[in-house]
A and B are shown apart, each in its own frame.
Chain A
Amino acid sequence: MTGGWTVHLMVVPILLPLLVGAVLLFVNERRRRLKAAFGAASSVVLLLVAVALLRFADLPTEAGGVATGVYLLGNWPAPFGIVLVVDRLSALMLLLAAILALPAQVFALGRWHRAAPHFHSLFQFLLMGVNGSFLTGDLFNLFVFFEVMLAASYGLVLHGSGRRRVKAGMHYIVINLVASFFFLVGVALIYGVTGTLNMADLAVRIPAVAPEDRMLLEAGAAILGIAFLTKAGMWPLNFWLPTAYAAAAAPVAAMFAILTKVGVYILLRLSLLLFGEGAGTLAGFGTTWLTVGGMLTVLFGMIGMLAARSLGRLTGYCVLVSSGTVLAAIGLEDPRVAGGALFYLVSSTLALSALFLLVELLERDLEQPEDEPDQVFADVEEDLEDEEDEVGVPVPATLAVLGLAFVGCTLLLAGLPPLSGFLAKFVMLSAALNPDGLGGGGQVSWQGWLLVPLLIVSGLVTLIAMMRAGIRRLWAPPEPIVPRVLIREAVPVAVLLGVGVVLTVLADPVMRYMTDAATALHVPTSYVETVLGKERLPGPRSAPSP
């Protein structure tokens, strides 16, 4: 990002959803088509920006380092002002968020955006929070974007109202509010010890922390970790997750698939940046906890999947298995395992998002009539049904199409060939069993020996649970219950799975990108130098630097 307007490309993923969401608040709730068009246009632009940032982050630099884009908000230099940073990992996560957003919005056109007002605004604010969390290079700014994301998600989880959503939503809100307090306490402790909140500056100062302050710093980092682990759904902080995700409206749940990954992303970034190899005596702080906790999460998710009676809850437990796997793999502190884990993260998030949409299609005609939303507040717009009573084109051979999509989700989540889930798991297994490269021998750590069977067994359990649920819904009923599915609801599912297929076909460049991203994370010197060395832009009134 050098020169010209492209410098400001980095701030677009935050500003654009903010502006679009705010403008949509003033559009009459009856003009849903206009709102949806605005929302979708914003997501398309976000997608293009994310691709541009990804291409930038993947450029080789002259010095052979890692391309890192730094944006100084308000033109204040790094440790004093707030910075936005884009590197391979954050560009990848931005792209993933944008890829998930568009299908969820198109899906909502079917019926969901009519369920309650302000769906599109809240959705844009959620995107702003998610993008901001990926881009920010400052701990407190991260808190602010986290709260923007959570506040929007509180609204969205209640979208459509109804007793079940309000109950699940209330638990979700309380738990996340308490987690936010943990976040604040952790940030305050870290600031109290190091005197900075900039992530790159923290990486410089943590090795120099006095021994008598180490305990406070460790306490702060651990408390901060609890906040992210709650969001990422690590056992035993995750009992709220399957209920809340199963209760949320389908397009909302499809977007929520990335919220757990926001927690995972921050853990990955902070644990390697602050407690990586350069952190002296604090190096490797908490990684064993991540591995063990991630593995317990996978175990808990597997038990939950086998016990789940509804497809919605089954998907909720799949989310846990997915983030548990990534957490466990991060804890191994091996760039190649982490590269595989990133690939797994992307492909499983896509599959989860598709599955959330698919589950709603499969279960929509089985819903209990008592689940009708009651009117609690009188000020909700009375008749939202008048502008255009959309009919839409139904999908031909509905059950066959849905069944095929279900198989696609299963293959991706269980990690079976030929789709990308298998490739990702294979990379992780191969890297965990060959710590010194293929054929290089080397001692496999105990974490590696635990991770390998866990990955395989979790794939098997996912397969069993998904097959059972699929047979029960699609084949077992004597009279097939055919749901009415519109084309605009089936296409998003197909697109999400299609991206999974693309990932499989382009596995080589994608995997190279992931490995580069993971390697850069494990050696963050280039990140730190770029952020702290970023010079201010010459402004019309800026004083000449001394």
Chain B
Amino acid sequence: MELVLALGIGILAGSGVWLLLRPRTYQVIIGLSLVSYAVNLFIFSMGRLRVDAPPVLGPGGSGSAIYVDPVPQALVLTAIVIGFATTALFLVVLLASRGLTDTDHVDGQERR
């Protein structure tokens, strides 16, 4: 499972970085989304991977053997919300730029 997750994070981050470096605003925003998925998965993995373990203590249960660290999961939740909001904001700027400059190039003009 570690291998699958690591590969997943790597592929998402790699594709995201490649798209971020492209000249079209749409590619940039997709790249940002992919990188944010990669980062969220990465934060999640920092709580150690464990299957079938709840992030809360059950009744009478104690000891770290039966539950996973809930903090990274809470952090991921916050990161998702913030990443979503800022991506939405960037979408608005992208549209404004498209409307003002009549091009979707990130520099507001086509390279001549």
Contacts and interface: CB of A to CB of B under 8 A. Distances in A.
Contacts of B42: 184-185, 188
A189 interface: yes
A181 interface: yes
B90 interface: yes
A171 B39 contact: no
Contacts of A178: 20, 32, 35
A174 B32 contact: yes
B100 A163 contact: yes
A403 B28 CA distance: 44
Given A166-B97, A166-B108, A184 B90 contact: no
Q: What's the dominant secondary structure at chain B's contact region? A: helix
Contacts of A276: none
Interface residues of B, number: 35
B39 A376 contact: no
A174 B20 contact: yes
A154 B93 contact: yes
A151 B72 contact: no
Contact of A181 (B39, B100, B101): B39
B30 interface: no
A166 B96 CA distance: 7
B95 to A, nearest CB: 7
A345 to B, nearest CB: 28
Given A144-B82, A181-B36, A184-B39, A167 B107 contact: yes
Interface in A491-538: none
A170 B20 contact: no
B72 A191 contact: yes
Contacts of B95: 376
A192 interface: yes
B68 interface: no
Ordered nearest first, which 3 A-B pairs have the shortest CB separation? A192-B46, A376-B99, A188-B43
18 contacts: A143-B78, A143-B82, A144-B78, A158-B96, A162-B100, A166-B97, A167-B108, A170-B90, A171-B106, A174-B28, A178-B35, A188-B43, A188-B72, A191-B75, A192-B47, A376-B95, A376-B96, A377-B99
Interface of B: 20, 25, 28, 32, 35-36, 39, 42-43, 46-47, 69, 71-72, 75, 78-79, 82-83, 85-87, 89-90, 93-97, 99-101, 106-108
